Chains A and B, each alone.
Chain A
Amino acid sequence: MKKIIGVLMSILVVLSLIAGCAAPAEDPVVEAPAVEEPVAETKEPAEELPKVALMSMREMTQPADASTLEGVERLKNEMGLDVKIVVCLEVSEYYDQMQALCEEGYDVIYFVYDNFLEAAKELCVLYPETTFIGLWINLNGEEVAPNLKPVHFRSEQGSFMCGVVAALMSESKQVGFIGGGNNAGIKTMLAGYEAGIKYVDNGTELVVAWANTFDDPLKGQELASSMYERGVDVIYQAANQTGLGVFQAAQDAGKYAIGVDVDQSDLAPENIICSSLLDHGYATYDSIAAFINGNYNNSQVFYGVQEGMPVIAINEALVSADVIAEVEAVQELVAAGQIEIPTTTDTE
């Protein structure tokens, strides 16, 4: 009998604990309608606006992600569109989450990086009502489905321009490249950079090193330091976090470095002469806005100079007006399609 009482008592304890848990949560409950109301308000004029979700494979903390968020912000400011951001940290989440978004009636699923591509390829057939737009997707002309739009960057263009700047700025006539990993995406940037150096054609030599990691600044710093010691005086990094070490080494050695993805010159204003831009924000805004404005089609898009996307940010405090004028001339030639930039190279 005692035991039963004990059991009952413990149930009471548990229940009161649960009740205790509910109590502090009441405040947000009271607030919740206040938060919901503006949502309801924006919904009424927004009725023609599609439901858009953005899928990211990591927490949105990298420079490229910050740029993506700028694009999202711009969509909100200019079109009143709320983009739902879904972060999928685990490989097994990609398909699950994408399918759930389809089932929840999202009109557009915008995903960044091709980790999501397999899931999108399967699901775009099953859910023809949903439109899939993928950034960093190059289908090479493969026709998958009318509701899957591949979007990619002309990442060789910014690198080409940086190659021009590097060759013109280098005094020792030796420039470096540090890549985070020897894959096709980084190779394209190396190819552009190399072509830019060759385009200037003033006898500048290129030194290449691979860090084989995208998140080890110390490794980047070591590689860069040894390069600077060998006489290299400009290094272009395409290595994400690893590249932060390159900037550190440039500051220590008092030499030049080139940033990637976003304008990184604020990280080392005395050393970063320019940054090649892969403007995720521009691509995000432009491709989603095109859908909203009814200009959607499923053809492959490459964002670059021709599409009006800025591809290089020059640090005007360090680069002379002559060089800037030269780069602008090159940019016009690229825009006019008069310069063929290779997208791959045999240089290792």
Chain B
Amino acid sequence: MNKSWVQSLLRLLVAFAIGLIISSLFILAVGENPIVAYKALLEGAFANKLGVFTTLRWTVPYIIVGVAATVSFKAGLFNMGMEGCIYAGALAAGLLGTIPGLPPIIHVPLCIMGATLVGMIWMIVPAFLKAKYGTNEVIITWMQSYAMTLLCSFLVTEYFQRPEDITSAAQQVRTPFIEPSAALNPIIDPYKLNTSLYIAIALIVILYVFSKYTIMGYEHRMMGTSYDFSIYGGVKTRKMQFWALLISGGIAAIAGAAETLGVNGQYIHGFSTSMGPNGIMVALMGRLNPLGLAISSLFMGAIQSGARAMVRATEVSVYTMNIMISIIVICITADGLYEMLHIKKRQREGD
């Protein structure tokens, strides 16, 4: 147990080092000093109150999407459609949030439940096809994700556009503001970190308890580890696959709802900075472990918040950070690298 922790930590360090080195090249290429840039990044993420709150504010959606990705990964499924679910959830929450005259105790859960439901419904087709015919869920969810993103944009432009925006010069696709009763309020006032933090924490705890202490969680995990074994053991794998995809979509939609209700106060098209794919990265970086998930989300949140500070302090583009994140994820998931470095035992030895 102890060794696997050391392994994970070393993996992270090596990946981080390589990521830093390669993105240094890009920073040097624009004529900036990488050390100054990284210092700005680190300070921006942690050194002041705003930085810390922005980091945490970004950690929240990453945790939620990360949990969604973990649910599908543990069942051996790739849910590439989370971006679509995030947008669907955000739009659903944004529209339900405009209903006037509800007390917050009903309104907030209503919006979140509505978003979850929409996310789950959107996953029914790929989940059904997967469970019934064994169709590849990667392609379908992925394509559906594009469809949903564009559908949300279309629906808002055609039917739900905020009336005031029609008269403005640079148009944004966005709905009217939600009622105050639907808002997830900030934890400390001028900052955007809001009560959706508790939702994220609750989801992590639920994930932990579910996979550790329930029979269904065990079956769910087993199915991902060894599909044939789980059939042999009597797991209703098809039903399990169906629900795993549905729940993954539902949770991803909560991330969208949290962004709408907590941060933006309205549905704005393009609010998700590829949170879906990033959620997959977070889940992989966290190695599908609830605690690892929280840590990797915090890391991604820090990068988001720090990268912006870096942009303010230097001439480096935000995209440099995307390069760094991708390299880090590639390194973390590349087993061969660690075999080479003798951090991980050769898998072939067992053959």
Residues in A lying within 8 Å of B, measured CB to CB: 3, 6-7, 9-11, 13-14, 17-18, 20-22, 24-25, 28-29, 32, 57, 84, 86-87, 89-93, 95-97, 99-101, 103-104, 113-115, 117, 126, 136, 138, 181, 183-185
Contacts and interface: CB of A to CB of B under 8 A. Distances in A.
Nearest to B338: A10
B54 interface: yes
A346 to B, nearest CB: 15
A238 B269 CA distance: 24
B192 interface: yes
Nearest to A22: B35
B312 A101 contact: yes
Give 10 closest A-B pairs by Cβ, nearest first.
A185-B169, A28-B33, A6-B342, A113-B170, A91-B270, A136-B169, A184-B167, A21-B21, A103-B50, A10-B341
Contacts of B190: 99, 126
Interface residues of B, number: 47
Contact of B24 (A11, A21, A87, A104): A21
Interface string B301-312: 000010011011
Interface string B6-27: 1000100110011011001000
A103 B312 contact: no
B271 interface: yes
B178 interface: no
Nearest to A6: B342
Nearest to B36: A32
B168 A114 contact: yes
A97 B308 contact: yes
A127 to B, nearest CB: 8
B226 interface: no
Nearest to A9: B342
A114 B312 contact: no
A86 B50 contact: no
Given A7-B343, A13-B341, A92 B273 contact: yes
A25 B34 contact: yes
A242 B312 CA distance: 31
Contacts of B169: 113-114, 136, 138, 183-185
Nearest to A31: B33
Contact of B33 (A9, A25, A57, A92): A25
A13 B269 CA distance: 45
B169 to A, nearest CB: 4
A91 B271 CA distance: 5
Contacts of B14: 10, 14
B33 A90 contact: no
Contacts of A25: 24, 28, 33-35
Interface in B311-348: 311-312, 317-318, 341-343
Interface string B270-294: 1111000000000000000000000
A29 B35 contact: yes
Interface string B60-82: 00000000000000000000000
A117 B317 CA distance: 23
A7 B10 CA distance: 8
The SS class assigned to the A binding surface is: helix
A86 B317 CA distance: 10
16 contacts: A14-B17, A18-B20, A24-B24, A28-B32, A28-B33, A57-B170, A91-B172, A91-B269, A96-B192, A100-B309, A113-B170, A114-B170, A138-B168, A138-B169, A183-B168, A184-B167
Contacts of A138: 167-169
Contacts of A91: 172, 268-271
A6 B13 CA distance: 15
Given A96-B192, A100-B54, 4 more contacts: A7-B343, A87-B311, A91-B270, A99-B191
Contacts of B150: none
B17 A93 contact: no
Contacts of A100: 44, 50, 54, 308-309, 312
Nearest to A2: B342
Nearest to B319: A89
B4 interface: no
Nearest to A153: B169
A27 to B, nearest CB: 9
Contacts of A104: 312
Contacts of B318: 89-90, 93
A21 B21 CA distance: 6
B172 A96 contact: no
B48 interface: yes
Contacts of B166: 183-184
Given A10-B14, A18-B17, A184 B312 contact: no
A183 B164 CA distance: 12
A323 B110 CA distance: 65
A21 B20 contact: yes
B171 interface: yes
A25 B171 CA distance: 43
A28 B28 CA distance: 9
Nearest to B192: A95
